[in-house]
Structure 1
Amino acid sequence: MKYYFRDLLTLLISLFILSGCENPSKVGLDVNPDDQIQGALIDDLPISAVTVKESSTSTKGSYQHPLGYLKDPTIGESSASIQLALNEVAASDSRIPANAIIDSAIMVFDYGVDFFGDSLNSTTTVEVKQLSAPFDFNKDYPSDEAWAVEAEIFGSKTLNKFAYRDSIRIHTIISSKDTVIKVGPQLRIPLDANKIKKLFDGNLDSATFANNTFFQNRIKGFQVSINKSAQTGIGGIVHLAINSNQNGLMVYYKLPGSTDQKIKSYSVSAQNAVSSLSNEYSTAVTDQLANPEGNFETVYVQSPAGLRTKLSLPTLSSLKDQNLIINKAELIIYTDTDATGTAFTKQAPRLTLYREDIAGQRVPLPDGDTRTVTLSTGETRNVRDPRSFGLAFGGVYDKDKKSYTFILTSYIQDILKSKINNSTFYVAPASNVEKTIVPYELNVYSGYRAILGGNSNEAHKMKLNIYYTKAK
């Protein structure tokens, strides 16, 4: 019992002592004000912002290939087509028998993971035409290549939406039997059976047709594009993830006197397909493209291989001799909802930042460096900057705040220490394919855009907040 009262008395004395303090959190050692770390904020550094054109690139071997026509009411018109070559039928005669009765000929492509546009209020017509010259397997076609095609339409399909998320059931031939199977989302474009039968003419000499050079010179290749004049609504850009195992031209046919359906499959791979991109920009965009050293209230970013925004910090160097330790630096970029208007308000779900080295090559900022290398053994090794925040670097669109936020702590510190001698960097849309890294290469894997407020935009002001302490 005596121990019980002793413990109670100790508790009461402790409560009296703590109640005499103004703030219990101050219990402990006193801190000399001269030794206390003081934080401060710089949030008024000017940021120059201007829209610049992305460079052209080769899209051969891409994860996804863009296809579509987007009539953006703010930025302008963007179109993407796909050019491809067909492979010969593996270990078989690539001709279609002269007496064959074709049930259907279909150009088949797997959908990718991206669509950007208005799928609810648009109607799109996809067309297939033959290339005028053979597709060159050894050429890295640039993304702004102007392709010549024949006027004749081999096939088309009108879509109320790109069903890039919907699995479908199809008829195919398995063990010589017509079978219904379920496959992932696909774009299936019916082609004219007579034109296909004529192109793969079974009356031609089999040995001649089996020659690869003859085959490619005859078939040439195809373009998949959008009929712009037939489109209603804003439209959009979808992506196709071409799979050589099940994509290409499928010809289903029967021979006279037989009910057995047969199939000829002419596959297409990502290495045998390239994108062609073109744009007709609005006056607001072309004014900036003609003045790449300017500074604008509203700036634009767009993919694939469309527009990026160049940002620079012209007065940051004035802080170099002040012995600042950067505790945190964050860039906040707001969308310019006034410039966007109400006709089409979608913004890119994610943006990325990167800079260029002295050779003009794109490199990640240290805070968003997620680089890896693959060794000859097949092992993947992390080579990123140890200060990297990984995906926490930022860039995801905050729909409530209508903004994107990035961490630039190490980048700003490196500039102040002259480890990086250029305060110019770029913002661009990030691909939805590259979800586990911070991308910095040219984006051809998505069709996003965003309309952003610059630093001089009072209503949607871009801001760089630098929290620092001063070293003694």
Structure 2
Amino acid sequence: MKFFRLDLLTLLISLFILNSCKNQDAVGLGVSSGQTASNLIDTSTIVVNTVPEDSVITSGLTKSPVSCFRDPIFGSTMTALATDLNLPGQGSYTPPTGTVYIDSARLVLNYANGFYGDSITSKYTINVYQLKSLFRTDTAYYNNKNFGYSTTNFADYSSQSPIGTLTFNARPHDSIKVYNIITGAADTLIKVPPQIRIPIDPSFINTNLFGASSTTLGSNTIFKTKVKGLLIKLDSTKTTGSGGSIMFSNADSLVVYYRSVIGTTIDTAVVKLPIVSTATSIHHNYSTAIRNELNNTKSGSRNLFYLQGPIGLRAKVSFPHLLQNFRASLLSNNQDVVINRAELVVTPQPGTYIPFAPMPKISMYQLDIALQRIELQDASSADARSGGVGVFGGFYNSTQNEYHFIVTAYVQDLLYGKTVDYGTYIGPIDNTNTTTVDIGATAQVASRTVAIGTDKNSPYRLKLNIIYTKVAK
């Protein structure tokens, strides 16, 4: 009898637990007998189109692309990096005494996270030029700035020969060893972070540093006005294969190794001319297919949409069915709706990500009444309904070949008229930020994604999955 009572108690507890379990459709809603939970998969009434990305300021970035990328779908992307050049210590400079012989000069560019393209078979040739006009550190340069070369075909700057050039393979993760020059002591071999070191013509150093006037060397401002700055770009005629976009950090400098000879005394030394400010110029020469998408003025949605960095393409998306039909049909039957969960599923087009992988992360955002970018409710830390960056999503799942966005609060507010759709977008974003949801256009990502839009013949078309609860008015 004792064991029978225990079994009966276990049975009663189990029935209580099972009875308390609710369908996922009604999680947290306290669904009563007058309410029903339902699913809605909206694919036919989503509208999505490819549009150009906004222009942005590219000066003062923590990393910048230098690109020669020939994408078989998008076309070619060329970017160039303009920089200032400063005296050692950014103050006055006194050249070494005695006879000075330059052993070598190297422009050091440190790799940063974000390489995109062919790092296996493509050979890259990078050139360095002296700018025609002064690079101003007090000026905000945009991505469409022309630093002395054609933005139509990206021909070499004027007819000037480069002051430095290097042919190399992109190895953004391989550290290298260089000699550390110690004055009055033996040189030592040290390991440095992944970087490229571009040989610079010694005559450029002699003219602008060791052989410059005391007036020029007496002021960093005068020196910069004379030198003007540097332009760094990949040579499209000598870069082989598909090429790519190489990200460089801005902790760079022009390093000069020299010998100072005084009588019978010879010593090796090094002097560094720091680079403090940079700006990137970006040009996309789109394929016919992409140009047709951008020039298509017909209303309606597209079977494919395109996301591209740096400062390339994004997508505008809207959900007119939600506003026009869904809730209205319920209200006409004396019912209303509460959204349990809304999820937008974006799928890259199969075959478009070999060998170039989809973007590791994308973002979704909206415009306010002033047409300025703001976070969706589900992405905003100011909204109590937000689950944070990890819940909001936008990360590429390579196993499922999908991106997911949780847009529950956004959809609920659209339905109830608490927010107005002044424009909602999906766009590229730098994947290195994992703590907040980025929404600004960025030059710091070079990857791309071809995604399936509202193609009725594709099982992977853009989907808005909604779990909702009908409630009596």
Give the TM-score taking structure 1 as reference length.
0.87
1:115-134 aligned at under 5 Å gives the runs 115-134=115-134
Which of residues 272, 291, 309 in structure 2 aligns to 1:286? Answer: 291
Task: Report the Cα distance in structure 2 between the residues aligned to 1:93 and 1:464, rounded to whole angstroms.
Answer: 63
Deviations 1:346-366 (A, max 9, x none): 211111111111111111111
Of residues 164, 189, 209, the one that matches 2:217 is: 209
State the distance in 1 between where 2:303 and 2:427 align: 17
2:272 corresponds to which of 265, 270, 273: 265
Structure 1 residues 326 and 13: alpha-carbon distance in aligned structure 2, compared to 1, 3 A threshold:
closer
Contact 2:56 2:442 in 1 (8 A): no
Please state how far the C-alpha of 1:298 moved relative to its aligned partner. 0.8
Shift of 1:215: 1.2
Counterparts of 2:240 and 2:361 in 1: how far apart (Å)?
28
- How many Å separate the matches in 2 of 1:58 and 1:13? 72
**Which residue in the other structure is 2:254 paired with?**
249
Distance 1:437 1:196, change over 3 A: same
Q: How does 1:20-419 map to 2 (within 5 A)?
A: 35=33, 37-44=35-42, 46-90=45-89, 91-93=91-93, 99-148=99-148, 149=157, 151-161=160-170, 163-174=171-182, 176-177=184-185, 178-202=187-211, 204-243=212-251, 247-256=252-261, 257-269=264-276, 272-291=277-296, 294-318=300-324, 319-321=326-328, 322=331, 323-338=336-351, 340=352, 344-370=355-381, 384-391=382-389, 392-419=391-418
Look up the equivalent residue of 2:373 and give its one-letter code: R
Q: 1:400 Cα shift?
A: 2.2
The residue number in structure 2 matching 1:375 is none
Letter in 2 for 1:335: P
Q: Is the 8 A contact 2:67 2:79 kept in 1?
A: yes
* CA distance, structure 2, for counterparts of residue 92 and residue 421 of structure 1: 58
Secondary structure at the residue paired with 1:119?
coil
Q: State the Cα deviation string for residues 64-90 of structure 1 (Å, max 9, x = none).
A: 111121100001101111100011122
1:57 deviates by: 1.4
CA distance change for structure 1 residues 7 and 452 in 2, over 3 Å: closer, same or farther? same
Q: Counterparts of 1:436 and 1:123 in 2: how far apart (Å)?
A: 36
Task: State the 4+ residue runs in structure 1 displaced beyond 4 angstroms.
Answer: 12-15, 23-29, 94-98
Closer/same/farther in 2, CA of residues 28 and 275 from structure 1, 3 Å limit: closer
After superposition, what is the alpha-carbon deviation per residue over 1:113-170, rounded to whole angstroms, capped at 9, x for unaligned?
Answer: 1111121121111111111111122211111111114521111111122x22222222
Please, what TM-score do these two structures have when normalized by structure 2? 0.86
Deviation at 1:341, TM superposition (A): 7.4
RMSD after superposition: 2.6
Q: Secondary structure at the match of 2:266?
A: coil
Deviations 1:181-201 (A, max 9, x none): 222222211112223222325
Kept after mapping to 2: 8 A contact 1:113/1:432: no
Q: What percentage of aligned pairs have identical amino acids?
A: 31
Amino acid corresponding to residue 10 of structure 1 in structure 2: R
- The count of residues paired between Structure 1 and Structure 2 equals 440
Q: Distance in 2 between matches of 1:44 and 1:9?
A: 52
Partners of 1:137 and 1:295 in 2: how far apart?
A: 44
Q: Does 1:7 align with 2:27?
A: no
Contact 1:298/1:457 (8 A) holds in 2: no
Stretch of structure 1 that moved more, 253-262 or 99-108:
253-262
What is the CA–CA distance in structure 2 between the aligned matches of 1:368 and 1:33, rounded to whole Å? 27
CA–CA distance in structure 2, aligned partners of residues 388 and 221 of structure 1: 46
Distance 2:7 2:412 in 1: 52
Cα distance in 1 for residues equivalent to 2:20 and 2:448: 54
CA distance in 1, matches of 2:180, 2:31: 80
Assess, with a 3 A threshold, how the Cα gap between structure 1 residues 211 and 28 changes in structure 2: closer, same or farther.
closer
CA gap of 1:43–1:423, structure 2 versus 1, over 3 A, is: farther
Task: Give the distance between the partners of 1:9 and 1:317, measured in 2 at CA.
Answer: 58
1:333 is matched by which residue type in structure 2? V
- Residues 65 and 290 of structure 1: is their aligned pair in 2 closer, same or farther, counting only changes over 3 Å? same
Q: Which moved more, 1:301-310 or 1:180-189?
A: 180-189
Residues 428/404 of structure 1: CA separation in 2 closer, same or farther (3 Å cut): same
Please say which of residues 279-288 and 6-15 is displaced more in the overlay: 6-15
Asked if structure 1 preserves the Cα contact closer than 8 Å seen for 2:429 and 2:441, the reply is no
Deviation at 1:33, TM superposition (A): 9.7
Contact 2:134-2:224 at 8 Å conserved across structures? yes
Q: 1:215 to 1:142 in 2, by over 3 A?
A: same
Deviations 1:250-290 (A, max 9, x none): 11101224432112211012xx1001100000111111212
Distance in structure 2 (CA, Å) of the matches to 1:12 and 1:86: 83
